[in-house]
Amino acid sequence: MRFEGRSIIVTGAGSGIGRAAAIQFAGEGGQVLCADKTDGAEATVAAIRDFGGIAEALQMDAGLEADVERAVALAVERFGGLDVMFANAGISGGVANIFDTPVELIAEVLRVNLIGPFLAIKHAAPRIAEQAAKNGKGGAIVLTASVAGIRSGAGSPAYSASKAGVINLAKTAAQQLSGSNVRVNAICPGLTETGMTKPTFDYAREAGKMDRVGRLNPLRRGAQPDELAKVALFLASDDASYVNGQAIAVDGGLSSSHPVTKQEYGRTAV
């Protein structure tokens, strides 16, 4: 019960990694504000309340400052403070070519994927610092970045640029929160079965090609949201009390290598 009595906000809690994390936070005693642009947050809250957990739903846009302020204020009001912010909401921006990407699209992707985490830090960190000073325990902010933010080849130009910004934002915020007892880290998911990637996984299942999903990483598979959520919970917990300003790749080993000739067990692949 690592989060017993702690107040937590999860954005993008209506599906995927956000839903999995919200349920896990609540399962470990956390009081969770489940925020999402869709009404999926209500279903997440229902799932949490089914096992006796504590959760509230909020429909919001993670890239709008007024909505982020409202979420922080609601968590403080309902749960008596704020201990953890998991800024997870994001969109794909799926145009593959820089030269075909409209300015309006990249602006929207940056608004949600990068300005959203910036706003989460700006408005949540002071409340988390207050809570840390009050109870003598550290607080945490976790951001969802991506392996696409580490190097090219894992996402669209707009998405990749936004997630590279999130990685640097985590490092910068960790430094600027020095002495506050608030840690800031990012997770960098590889291919994970979420609402964003559902068409890829659905097609692979229908075509009998699931063996090709995630084949470029050493584990030769995609991830499930629960696997990413567990890493986010670790970073938010006191178990990670000395982990700060880091971007943790959770990608089956994809980002551990540059492209090379693949080595197969017992033979060299061409």
The string of DSSP letters for 134-202 reads HHS--EEEEEE--GGGTSSSSS-HHHHHHHHHHHHHHHHHHHHTTTTTEEEEEEEE-SB-STTTHHHHH
Lowest model confidence (mean pLDDT) among 69-73, 78-82, 208-212: 208-212
Is residue 225 predicted with pLDDT exceeding 70?
yes
Query: Which segment, 91-100, 125-134, 153-162, 253-262, is predicted with the most confidence on average?
Result: 125-134
Q: Higher pLDDT residue, 194 or 53?
A: 53
Cβ(23)–Cβ(17) below 8 Å: no
- Is the predicted pLDDT of residue 63 greater than 50, yes or no? yes
Q: Which two structure tokens, joined as six digits, stand for 94?
A: 């799926």
Domains of the chain in sequence order: 7-248 (3.40.50.720)
Q: Which residues are catalytic?
A: 159
What pLDDT, on a 0 to 100 scale, did the predictor assign at position 3?
98
- pLDDT at res. 152: 86
**The most confident of 90-94, 109-113, 132-136, by mean pLDDT:** 109-113
Return mean pLDDT, the chain.
Answer: 91
Query: What digits encode the pLDDT tens for the residues 242-268?
Result: 999 999 999 998 888 876 555 566 665
The pLDDT of residue 270 is 44
Rounded Cα distance between 235 and 170, Å, is: 12
Tell me the pTM. 0.91
Residue 75's CB is within 10 A of a number of other CB atoms, namely 26
Above 60 in pLDDT, residue 204? no
